Chains A and B, each alone.
Chain A
């Protein structure tokens, strides 16, 4: 088949200059139009033209239409109601057309009219658009409008990028009136796109038909690309084609995860999918999603032991607390549950000291009061009395009774008057005795010294 193709010579760089030239033409045209407003009347009659149509049936009074010595001019006030006189209404551009355009000696008008528009107007479409010109054209401008709406009546409604495309892109002979029906197969118009497609190389892959399997009518490339038969979700969306289609061979590409991720499976170390005490399934999607290969969601249903088989790296890398340093048991299930690795279920049974081995981060992170800044003891158990509840109600104030007795219920800052420094306290902030009275009252106490904290040396329980 040697079906012809366009042989247009394309060259670039003329857009701006052409547009500018066109604008100039338009400006000149408008100027000419303004100057020519009082041009020749539409029905102007030429002296020597003479009648070219029979007058036998016309009224005998020539002055009804003509004037001039030789009746060779149409009257300036000539009016002819075509619809009333002939029964044929003249609409649109026909209303202003010169009579002789239709009424001349090339044949009776009735004969041409019987053929419809094509009787007078040449049909550049060569009848291949049918004889009903009015389905696209109107009598005002003849130029067709509402083409999108008209095209919606065909098998190929213009959607997306096609709506804004120029006619000639699908009908290459449009400018010479050739609107012969275009093939609706994508490749018939997108042959050049097909030839240009090198990533991947469509021709090499044999992708020369059924474009709609991958491409959208909205836009040919970029975001409109559809891999719907195997959705490119998650990390696959940004993967290069060659990652799955090795060597740019697209035919026969397998569609199972393991087919591409075998190496990931084989080299997985956390956990080791191959040498683990139980064999991981090769149905990767049971644990992994396309969002990321990491962070698999393993179904722990039915698993109650041997966690460390998979989670040994987690055990080894755990820093809070360091499982290795404190020789934690590798029976993970003693502390952890499968629903969340970070929420532990550690049993404190039998543990009465060494809390800071695990809770040093808690010590450092505590701000109310700030343990580190206040120089609190790192012997947690000296204050915190419960392993089941580390909270506010389960701690001691071992050096001074504040939960009972006369000092119960007062705010911390009443005695610890330096903000954030709980190592400092001030008894005389409340007990504001006059020093002279205290001196006389303690004149029998050896080593007595008046000061904000010296009270505590003799009154460690806050009693008299």
Chain B
């Protein structure tokens, strides 16, 4: 075997050099193999450049074509061009380098004589520094945005929303691997016209917390302040603290207690208190299965309010399947006058997806929602009748198929039902990429929905393009809206919507987005514009 290899190698090299008389062979060795890449022990000093081609003469006798992708002075990373080739470290490599480049010779050795330095890396496995050894670091973003909607229909009405916010993390703030986080936003909102003017200015703090622990070498985590439960976000934002322990197998369990801000736009706090315990099991080599559960009890202005059990799961057995779900189960007592005493499944969400990458895929989702009976401010305005008897079930089935490299079709069906009605929606969509222009997409769809009070059918067209100047997109919608149970001029409305947006970067740290919407057609006349500016640091 070795003999045959010794014969084949010079022969192959001779043939290759003969095919390219202006090239010179540069010999190298494979120093490491990683996935589809291998590393060789020659680099720019030997005249190599990205794009140069060569061959590996494997010990098995196989010759494997490679191409240089990136280089350093004394090494290069190459891609293997032969599928399923087996290459191991130490095997011989031949790279063809243009003669004029190879003859230029290696640059003069300029490396100074090495002296011992205690900070110089040793030939030993690297060690992650402890948080105490790292320097503090601050990162985050600042943003501001403006949205204005000018509705000319009827008496006319204007909606303006201006917001600016800050979202930052101060890592290793005290040198113990802790993190201080703050998210806050100030916004101004006004509406003008119609039945009156309204203006609202508000500062909202989404997060202001200090967290310690839960890195590789610390299995315990505690967090204080205002934050969103991270193990089960269903538990919501609290003003308090939580303590979490990670087991050897990756499971986490813990408890939290504190004030429970209302889940409204201002996150008003002080009226509610919550306490919860939770456990999350993580299974599989990569944590591809997770199952979580929690119990939460809340009080509103000193009165017992909600007793709810939460659970969720996610399972990704392989790259094609993904299944997930979550559920809320409320326990009602005789004091909950709008509900029957006992357990009630308040919310259930189930999702499943299967996809063959680049070929086709489908997904389905089912949800069942009832309205909980709460003392606290958490839900949109809801009538007593809806709380006591309201129930919505939704099913979604979606399917897509890649017809070719640039053409994709998709379809979906959305049946729904509630306590006294049912309906069905659907859409059929086709998209083609790089058709009218490169790095762009054009699409069209037909859709329909039999809604609660309105039946809609229509057409959507859209186009988008990604360039160095940003992402530009526009979309058009034509819809026939028929209001159920109504006669007269409003029975059937033909309405249209035109939307365009442009997202682009300003330098390396800034990004900006502009958008405009136009609503027109029967009984509709509104314009909406928006701008979004963000800087990250």
Contacts and interface: CB of A to CB of B under 8 A. Distances in A.
Interface of A: 1-15, 18-19, 21-22, 25-26, 29-30, 32-34, 36-42, 46-64, 69-71, 75, 77, 79, 81, 84-86, 104-106, 108, 110-116, 118, 122-128, 130-132, 140-141, 143, 145-146, 148-149, 152-157, 159-161, 163-166, 168, 170-176, 178, 180-185, 187-189, 191, 193, 196, 209, 212, 216-224, 226, 228, 231
Given A25-B164, A64-B77, A172-B380, A224 B490 contact: yes
Nearest to A218: B523
Contacts of B125: 55-56
A155 B416 contact: yes
Given A25-B164, A166-B161, A111 B144 contact: no
B524 A160 contact: yes
Contacts of B416: 154-155
B contacts with A: majority SS: strand
A59 B451 CA distance: 58
A361 to B, nearest CB: 46
Q: How would you classify the secondary structure of chain A's contact residues: helix, strand, loop or mixed?
A: loop
Residue from B265, B365, B511 whose CB has the most chain A CB atoms within 10 Å = B265
B176 interface: no
Nearest to B384: A1
Contact of A127 (B161, B233, B300, B510): B233
A85 B262 CA distance: 46
Contacts of A187: 383
A142 to B, nearest CB: 11
Given A115-B314, A130-B365, A131-B314, A143 B513 contact: yes
B507 A122 contact: no
B490 to A, nearest CB: 5
Interface stretch (B367-375, B402-410, B434-442): B367-375
A33 B481 contact: no
Contact of A1 (B134, B190, B264, B338): B338
26 contacts: A1-B387, A14-B190, A15-B199, A26-B531, A37-B506, A46-B135, A50-B134, A56-B126, A61-B41, A63-B75, A79-B70, A104-B215, A114-B286, A114-B288, A126-B236, A130-B349, A140-B503, A141-B503, A153-B396, A159-B454, A164-B151, A164-B153, A170-B380, A193-B195, A221-B154, A224-B154
A216 B425 contact: no
A132 B217 CA distance: 32
A298 B234 CA distance: 72
Nearest to B229: A126
A164 B199 contact: no
A183 B386 contact: yes
Interface in B79-132: 79, 117, 119-121, 125-129
B468 to A, nearest CB: 14
A49 B171 CA distance: 11
Nearest to B484: A212
B146 interface: yes
A159 B493 contact: yes
Contacts of B353: 132
A127 B508 contact: no
A248 B195 CA distance: 21
A208 to B, nearest CB: 9
Interface stretch (B1-9, B51-59, B60-68, B200-208): B200-208
Contacts of B475: 146, 149
Contact of A18 (B162, B198, B217, B503): B162
Given A85-B36, A161-B151, A221-B155, 14 more contacts: A40-B509, A59-B39, A64-B75, A127-B233, A127-B349, A141-B503, A155-B423, A161-B153, A168-B265, A172-B380, A173-B264, A184-B453, A212-B485, A216-B483
B254 interface: no
Contacts of B483: 159, 212, 216-217
Contacts of A224: 154, 490, 523
B390 interface: yes
B248 interface: no
A235 B179 CA distance: 72
Nearest to A70: B119
Given A115-B314, A212-B485, A218 B151 contact: no
B121 A39 contact: no
Contacts of B281: none
Nearest to A53: B128
Contact of B128 (A51, A170, A221): A51
B228 A217 contact: no
Given A71-B121, A176-B206, A160 B263 contact: no
Contacts of A8: 200, 202, 265-266
Given A12-B198, A183-B381, A163 B524 contact: yes
A48 B263 contact: no
Given A36-B510, A71-B121, A140-B503, A226 B488 contact: yes
Contacts of B269: none
Nearest to A54: B128
Contacts of B37: 84-85
